[in-house]
């Protein structure tokens, strides 16, 4: 389909595709098996000016938005959904700064992120606080002179120990519930900040997932984002802006799986003919392609809506994440079916695509939570009307 991309947007796709083919494809199998973080790919993305696509030019970025980020993440994910996360997870950790940071904070941190010199991460999830991340939060931050003292742990943090800049949520006033949570910028190496368990995951194994540990960690009070009590608002606004990035990752995984299934169906001979001539296989391919295009249409429309300055897009952000991740899971299952026993073997990347696809239905809000959000927005909209 023609998405009426600008020359710059088309160049983003072509650049990301070249990196995916030349830098990611040769290493994706080994990095997945061994759980290697893709520093060489990060360097390639930085050299190609992809790291700052969504960051304003005034802070050293490309000056694009969520849409440009999605274009790059989708293209990288066609080859490896795990390696692409180095970029997508950094965006998640950066959005709080973009949306709520002071001018001083932005000038201090954004240029290094835009240049690819430093990665970012978002410290929200805790062991006993999954879908109710704010309500069940235990991490605390207490003001002590010119510093806040952070205590607690964060679990399953993407980019983990490989990031340099972290947005961390903690309770500053336990008597105010959700309004007592605040957000802080924490730098790697801060006193009292260390790393715990490194997770051994089913998929996205080239992406690091690590526990963050804060033991009397002293953070300068000027690293408070916005003001005390804004943590819940920062979290919700950040996730609404970042969920299309998860959708792009999922969409890329699905699109890559379809490409592999089509290529295999044309090469695999059974009963003297390619299996692509069998109607059963054709129908599988047709359904996969249709679902991918439908998901892409929703994702691109959502990303462009966010970039337009529209203030209300929580429903669409949830829809795009939900649709793209469900499509990724169903497409990888059907694509593996097309490839039969070969698809189940590690000789082909299809089993990896399926493993990578599953997490997109879980993180940044499970798809059940996305359905809750969509329904809530529908009901609120009807009541307001």
Residue 1: predicted pLDDT: 82
CA 140 remoteness from chain centre? 26
For the chain, helix, strand, coil in percent to 5 are: 55, 15, 30
CA 58 remoteness from chain centre? 24
Residue 382: predicted pLDDT: 80
Architecture (CATH level 2) of domain 121-231: Beta Barrel (2.40)
Residue 265: predicted pLDDT: 98
Among residues 126, 199, 364, 373, which one is catalytic? 364
CA 124, 127, 130, 134 torsion-angle sign: negative
Residue 314: predicted pLDDT: 96
Residues of the chain predicted below pLDDT 50: none
Residue 321: predicted pLDDT: 98
For the segment 45-90, what is each residue's pLDDT rounded down to a tens digit? 999 999 999 999 999 999 999 999 999 999 999 999 999 999 999 9
Q: Which CATH number fits domain 239-384: 2.60.120.380, 3.40.190.10, 3.40.50.1820, 1.20.140.10?
A: 1.20.140.10
Do residues 31 and 82 lie in contact, with contact meaning Cβ atoms separated by under 8 Å? yes
Q: Where are the domains of the chain?
A: 7-118, 121-231, 239-384
Whether 364 sits among the annotated catalytic residues: the reply is yes
DSSP letter at 125 equals -
The DSSP result for 55-90, as a single string, is: S-GGGTS----HHHHHHHHHHHHTT-TTTTHHHHHH
Q: Which fold has domain 7-118?
A: Butyryl-Coa Dehydrogenase, subunit A; domain 1 (1.10.540)
Residue 385: predicted pLDDT: 66
For the segment 247-304, what is each residue's pLDDT rounded down to a tens digit? 999 999 999 999 999 999 999 999 999 999 999 999 999 999 999 999 999 999 999 9
């Amino acid at each position: 389909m023609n998405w009426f991309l600008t020359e710059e947007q088309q160049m983003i796709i072509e650049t990301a595709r070249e990196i995916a083919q030349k830098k990611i494809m040769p290493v994706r199998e080994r990095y997945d098996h061994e759980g290697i973080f893709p520093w060489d790919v990060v360097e390639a993305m930085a050299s190609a000016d992809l790291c700052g696509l969504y960051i304003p030019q005034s802070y050293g970025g490309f000056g694009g938005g969520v849409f440009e980020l999605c274009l790059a993440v989708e293209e990288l994910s066609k080859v490896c959904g795990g390696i692409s996360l180095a970029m997508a997870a950094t965006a998640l950790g950066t959005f709080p700064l973009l949306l709520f940071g002071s001018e001083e904070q932005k000038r201090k941190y954004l240029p290094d992120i835009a240049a690819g010199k430093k990665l970012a991460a978002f410290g929200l999830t805790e062991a006993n606080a999954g879908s109710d991340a704010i309500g069940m939060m235990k991490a605390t931050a207490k003001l002590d002179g010119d510093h806040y003292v952070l205590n607690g742990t964060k679990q399953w943090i993407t980019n983990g120990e490989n990031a340099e800049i972290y947005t961390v949520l903690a309770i500053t006033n336990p008597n105010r519930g959700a309004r007592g949570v605040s957000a802080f910028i924490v730098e790697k190496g801060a006193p009292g900040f260390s790393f715990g368990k490194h997770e051994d995951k089913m998929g996205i194994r080239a992406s690091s997932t690590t526990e963050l540990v804060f033991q009397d960690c002293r953070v300068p009070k000027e690293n408070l984002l916005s003001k005390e009590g804004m943590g819940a608002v920062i979290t919700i606004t950040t996730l609404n802006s970042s969920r299309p990035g998860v959708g792009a990752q999922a969409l890329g995984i699905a699109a890559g799986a379809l490409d592999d299934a089509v290529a295999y169906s044309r090469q695999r001979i059974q009963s003297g003919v390619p299996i692509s001539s069998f109607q059963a296989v054709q129908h599988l391919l047709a359904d996969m392609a249709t679902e991918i295009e439908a998901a892409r249409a929703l994702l691109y429309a959502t990303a462009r809506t966010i970039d337009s300055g529209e203030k209300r897009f929580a429903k669409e952000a949830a829809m795009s994440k939900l649709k793209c991740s469900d499509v990724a899971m169903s497409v990888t299952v059907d694509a593996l079916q097309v490839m039969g026993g070969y698809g189940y073997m590690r000789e082909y990347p299809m089993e990896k695509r399926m493993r990578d696809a599953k997490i997109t239905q879980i993180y940044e809000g499970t798809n059940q939570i996305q359905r809750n959000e969509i329904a809530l927005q529908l009901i609120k909209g009807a009541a307001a009307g």
